[in-house]
C-alpha cells in the first residue's frame, strides 16, 4: 500500500467554476477525513466518513461543498461556484476506527487557487 493518495496535486480555476478532488485512502482504513489548510494556519476539519456514511460535517463546509464516498473506498470533494476564499490546501486523511490505534495518515494534498 502506498499510503493516502490525492488528485490532482494542484488546481487553478476561475471564480465561479466547479472543481472536484479525489482521495484514495489506505485500503484497510474505514475512516476518511477531509481538512482544509490556509496559509500560516493548521489544518481544519471539514468532514469525515465511516465507510460510506458521512457522519459529521463542520460548519466550515458551506452548502457549496459536497463530499461523497460511494462505496466506502475513495472519496470526492466538490466545490461549486468557487470563490477566491476557497483558495487553500485540501488535505485528505484516513485511519482505522478500532482501538487501540486510531492513527491518521495524510495524503499530499490538493492545492486550489481560485483566480
Partner 1 sequence: GIQVEQSPPDLILQEGANSTLRCNFSDSVNNLQWFHQNPWGQLINLFYIPSGTKQNGRLSATTVATERYSLLYISSSQTTDSGVYFCAVATFTGGGNKLTFGTGTQLKVEL
Binding footprint of partner 1 on the chain (CB under 8 A):
31, 33, 35, 37, 40-45, 48, 50, 55-56, 89, 91, 93, 95, 97, 101-109, 111
User: Could you give the CA distance from residue 106 to residue 109 in angstroms, rounded to a whole number?
Assistant: 8
Q: Is the CB of 30 or the CB of 80 nearer to partner 1? A: 30
Taking the complex as a whole, how short is the minimal distance between the CB of residue 93 and partner 1, in angstroms?
8
Centre a 10 Å sphere on the Cβ of residue 47 and count the other Cβ atoms it contains: 21
Taking the complex as a whole, how short is the minimal distance between the CB of residue 53 and partner 1, in angstroms?
10
- Nearest C-alpha neighbor of 34 from the set 3, 4, 71, 2: 4
Q: Is the CB of 80 or the CB of 108 nearer to partner 1? A: 108
Q: Would you say 57 and 82 are in contact if contact means Cβ atoms under 8 Å apart?
A: no
Taking CA atoms, 39 is separated from 33, 43, 86, 88, in Å, by 20, 10, 12, 7
Q: Is the CB of 12 or the CB of 55 nearer to partner 1? A: 55
Taking the complex as a whole, how short is the minimal distance between the CB of residue 90 and partner 1, in angstroms?
10
- If you ran DSSP here, which 8-state letter would residue 15 be given? T
User: Could you give the CA distance from residue 4 to residue 59 in angstroms, rounded to a whole number?
Assistant: 25
Q: Is the CB of 82 or the CB of 95 nearer to partner 1? A: 95
Taking the complex as a whole, how short is the minimal distance between the CB of residue 114 and partner 1, in angstroms?
17
Amino acid at each position: 500500500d502506498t499510503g493516502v493518495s490525492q488528485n490532482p496535486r494542484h488546481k487553478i480555476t476561475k471564480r465561479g467554476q466547479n472543481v472536484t478532488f479525489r482521495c484514495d485512502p489506505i485500503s484497510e482504513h474505514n475512516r476518511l477525513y477531509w481538512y482544509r489548510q490556509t496559509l500560516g494556519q493548521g489544518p481544519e476539519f471539514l468532514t469525515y466518513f465511516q465507510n460510506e456514511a458521512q457522519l459529521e460535517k463542520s460548519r466550515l463546509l458551506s452548502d457549496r461543498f459536497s463530499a461523497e464516498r460511494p462505496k466506502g473506498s475513495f472519496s470526492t470533494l466538490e466545490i461549486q461556484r468557487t470563490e477566491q476564499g476557497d483558495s487553500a490546501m485540501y488535505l485528505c486523511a484516513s485511519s482505522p476506527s478500532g482501538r487501540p490505534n486510531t492513527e491518521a495518515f495524510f495524503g499530499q494534498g490538493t492545492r486550489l487557487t481560485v483566480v
